[in-house]
Amino acid sequence: MEAKQLFSKTRSWALGIILTAWLVCISGVFGNSGLIQAYQLASVRRDMTLRVKALGNERQYLQSSLYALEHDALVQEQAIRETLGFVRGNELVFEFR
């Protein structure tokens, strides 16, 4: 009878260890810090990186436009004329001297 009890205890321990290992694996895949969330966060990071690059390009364009408005007389004149309505968006300004 002792052999049966020993086998039963060993079997219970083995089943407990296997069940615990299975739960750890499931938690590693589906848990808060699991593989699925890691994949989702990598996707979010990739999207944010693209957004940062796009915003950097837009910032550079706006800085060059601002510099042109501050230092280029032709750009200033065109902006003033467009703002005051003397020129439509598809018209070109010709300067005769």
Buried b (16+ CB within 10 A) or exposed e, 75-86: eeebeeeeeeee
Same domain, 50 and 68: yes
The reply to whether 40 and 16 lie within a common domain is no
Query: Are both 39 and 74 inside the same structural domain?
Result: yes
| 8 A C-beta contact, residue 81 and residue 87 | yes
Q: Are residues 17 and 49 in the same domain?
A: no
> How does pLDDT run across 73-86, given as a tens digit for each residue?
999 988 888 788 77
pLDDT value at 96 more than 90 = no
pTM equals: 0.55
14 plus 36 within the same structural domain:
no
Is 96 domain-assigned? Answer: no
In angstroms, the CA 41 to CA 25 distance is: 20
Domain that holds residue 48: 32-88
Domain co-membership, 61 together with 17: no
Q: What is the pLDDT of residue 87?
A: 67
Structurally, how many domains does the chain consist of? 2
Q: What is the pLDDT of residues 13-63, one digit of tens each?
A: 888 888 888 888 787 777 777 788 888 999 999 999 999 999 999 999 999
